[in-house]
Structure 1
Amino acid sequence: MTQGRPLLNRRLDGFGTTIFAEMSALAVRTGSINLGQGFPDTDGPEEVREAAVRALREGKGNQYPPGPGVPELRTAIADHQRRFHGLAVDPDTEVLVTAGATEAIAAAMLALLEPGDEVIAFEPFYDSYAACIAMAGAQRVPLTLRAPAFRPDLDELRSKITPRTRLLLLNTPHNPTGTVLTREELTAIAELAVAHDLLVVTDEVYEHLVFEGEHIPMASLPGMRERTVTISSAGKSFSYTGWKVGWVTAPAPLVTAVRTAKQYLTYVSAGPFQYAIAEALRLPDTYFDTFRADLRRKRDLLADGLRAAGFEVHRPQGTYFITTDISPFGETDALAFCRALPERHGVVAVPNSVFYDDPEAGRSLVRFTFCKRDEVLREAVGRLRRAAS
């Protein structure tokens, strides 16, 4: 190793992954309720799990599956896009199965960016965005969503587009703020993309977790089908986050480009689970409606409890995260607050500041997840309310 060379490229340091590990370790050490990391504490539909078991027993996917994904899943993804969004997608040329949405994002950035390109993304970022942009040698340009509304300033967005801007990276519903972009906002963004000939990569993993408003895929808007890479995954919609089944839908040339990069990441993954998710995507509307209603109820349970405990609560329109402000407690440092919270009150959360380029922008904001059992949420709220009384 060259003397003095850093072990970690600093462009990749300082984001959420390390704080998740720290908070999870604190939860274990203190016996705290972990509302920091966003994964359910119950499995998804039994019939989906049984479909995975059946695939294993029948030898489906136990060896390398096809590089683009098994045909059954690619067809199910295309059918899903038509069923829910009215989008016609060719399963043979316009669908790519990935190891979760995170790999899809990485492959898209590596495939579509050149060193020196600029990428505009909404801040606070999902933590992999900054790292993936950096790995591609590109430059992230944040457009900050500011409390309490967390809406994009479209004039500011317009001002950030330069001759070096190559791509817009959007996330709706947005993690961690829970913002769902409106048709008017998306239309204005689409018009900018067309006018400046920009590519758009949209992270839509929370597409079925919208509580207010509606999910509108960017690819469905005029002029966007040919320039949009749409990313989603099974983990959030079916509560099997450990299976890591994601996908890309886009015009064939863009899918080919993303696949070219993806083959050097995992090549293939999750063989038997692909067959199970193909069945999951065909579940009846009642599944998706009940799932969404259940999470809306959990959101309200936790939001009301946090407000009663003294937090300023920004009730999300989607996702399964709630952003709160700790200023009412006279606190201003969310990182210090979250590090102390497990010892003081037996609850774990994460500071939003780790999702910003400028930590000051989210300095007093803290994120909680509500994708947990009701009794867990009630106990967490009880602990926090007892501490506040």
Structure 2
Amino acid sequence: MIESTLRLSTANLTELEHLALNSELNVADGHARQQLSEGQQRIIDELPTLFEKAAVQPVADLERDAHRAFFHLMGQQSYPIGPNPVLSCYASSVAMEILARSLVTKTDAVALIHPTFDNIPDILRGVGLRLVPLEEDPLHAGDLSSVVPPDVGCIFVTTPNNPTGRVLTRERLAELAAECRRKDVVLALDTSFRGFDTRSHYDHYAVLEASGCRWVVIEDTGKLWPTLDLKVGLLAYSENVGLPIPKIYSDILLGVSPFILALVERFAEDAAGDGLADLHAFVAESRRIVRTTLADVPGVSFPDPDSRVSVERVDLGGRRCADVWSALHERQVYALPCTQFHWADPSLGDRSLRIALARPHTSLRAAVRELRAVLLAH
């Protein structure tokens, strides 16, 4: 118990996710680990053919086709093409590193959404940027003139947010983009969980371009499909962004695997049929399993009733997440404490856990039953 608590107090969320990778009761990381659908299994059966295609087709064509299939699936018809094309990265965290290294050449401070996954503040701080917390309530409904502080060079928002699932509406994004233009501040969006929530499928790029603001968007394919973490992160930016993004990109990588680009195109095409709706139904059932299993546990509640993303926060009432996490760890069950999500004030997350929902339902039920037992014992 002491060893687990010490590890929890010093680890970041990715380190805690790594602990869980070999457990059958891993509900920690937000990656897609559910079973393949029938359509997805057919794609896996085609892997030799896809490999041959990737070996002979020009990379530019593969990248163009993968981008088009993915962005159109997400309702993003106005994504950049032409002189500033979308950059393909190994992962969204690589795109984040490129953005951070670009930002620090022009500014020393970023206003970052709070709470959010802790690798974002870690990456931004890692290049020397000072962070100003941007709370969700004023971001979504407050006075935007005060939401955008005068001493930052970038506003960074995750939408849908991880772990809360909150989504910027079209109207609010337009207002925020207009304010960023007025103050000449870069607006950066991380939309890695976009695929789970149709409320975020309006064309963000059309809104951003119409505003005239300087903007950057990070997209991710890795949360959607159970491809054993074969994925791409996508980095899009406006022509007027004023950041050395292409140069920093070239400092870090040449490009991504053409084979993975071919795989992304096929999975996006499958999702454009009934695949995305099936995924939404699967996640909704996973959320129902969590909520019904824990519904009668004293003190437990669910702070994000409208969330549709593939994670679910559980408010533990008076219980400390460190104690619950440690007890789960002894049972080889892994979830994430919410303390680290609250990067500016960890105490705000001291009474909640995050549960990953993109799991086979049998495994999820088993993990949540163990969580129920731990909660009833505390």
CA contact (8 A) 2:160 2:309 kept: yes
Q: 1:109: which partner in 2?
A: 100
Write the deviation string for residues 218-265 of structure 1: whole angstroms up to 9, x where unpaired.
Answer: 433264465222221221222325113121223346598323212222
Residue 71 (1) aligns with residue 61 (2): yes
1:97 Cα shift? 0.7
| Cα distance change, pair 358–224 in 1 and its aligned pair in 2 (3 A) | same
Counterpart mapping for 1:233-252 below 5 A: 233-240=220-227, 242-252=229-239
CA contact (8 A) 1:172 1:181 kept: yes
Counterpart mapping for 1:1-389 below 5 A: 15-22=12-19, 24=20, 33-42=25-34, 44=36, 45-57=40-52, 60=55, 70-78=60-68, 80-82=70-72, 84-87=75-78, 89-90=80-81, 93-114=84-105, 116-145=107-136, 152=139, 154-155=141-142, 158-159=145-146, 161-210=148-197, 213-221=199-207, 223-224=210-211, 227-240=214-227, 242-252=229-239, 254=241, 257-283=244-270, 284-310=272-298, 311-314=300-303, 315-327=305-317, 330-331=318-319, 333-343=320-330, 346-356=332-342, 357-387=344-374, 388=376
What TM-score comes out, normalization by structure 1 length?
Answer: 0.81
Write the deviation string for residues 288-324 of structure 1: whole angstroms up to 9, x where unpaired.
Answer: 1112122122122222223234421123523211111
Q: Percent identity?
A: 19
Q: Write the distance in 2 (CA, Å) between the matches of 1:246 and 1:52.
A: 21
Q: Write the distance in 1 (CA, Å) between the matches of 2:45 and 2:363.
A: 27
**Farther off after superposition, 372-381 or 180-189:** 180-189
Aligned length: 358
Provide the secondary structure at the position in 1 that maps to 2:260: helix
Q: Write the distance in 1 (CA, Å) between the matches of 2:42 and 2:82.
A: 24
1:175 Cα shift? 0.6
1:35 Cα shift? 1.1
Q: Write the distance in 2 (CA, Å) between the matches of 1:281 and 1:41.
A: 17
Q: Which runs of 5+ in 1 are unaligned?
A: 1-12
Provide the secondary structure at the position in 2 that maps to 1:323: strand
Write the deviation string for residues 12-42 of structure 1: whole angstroms up to 9, x where unpaired.
Answer: x8632233334x28xx5xx671211222334
What TM-score comes out, normalization by structure 2 length?
Answer: 0.83
Q: Write the distance in 2 (CA, Å) between the matches of 1:164 and 1:114.
A: 15
Q: Write the distance in 1 (CA, Å) between the matches of 2:150 and 2:262.
A: 44
CA contact (8 A) 1:94 1:252 kept: no
Amino acid at match of 2:309: T
1:151 Cα shift? 7.0
Provide the secondary structure at the position in 2 that maps to 1:143: strand
Q: Write the distance in 2 (CA, Å) between the matches of 1:335 and 1:157.
A: 36
1:360 Cα shift? 1.2
**Farther off after superposition, 50-59 or 282-291:** 50-59
Q: Write the distance in 1 (CA, Å) between the matches of 2:242 and 2:286.
A: 37
Amino acid at match of 1:34: N
Q: Write the distance in 2 (CA, Å) between the matches of 1:76 and 1:351.
A: 35
Q: Write the distance in 2 (CA, Å) between the matches of 1:342 and 1:178.
A: 26
Q: 1:3: which partner in 2?
A: none
Amino acid at match of 2:114: E
Q: Which runs of 5+ in 2 are unaligned?
A: 1-9
C-alpha root-mean-square deviation of aligned residues, in Å? 3.0
CA contact (8 A) 2:111 2:156 kept: yes
1:369 Cα shift? 0.9
1:74 Cα shift? 2.6
Q: Write the distance in 2 (CA, Å) between the matches of 1:242 and 1:214.
A: 23
CA contact (8 A) 2:31 2:358 kept: yes
1:172 Cα shift? 0.9
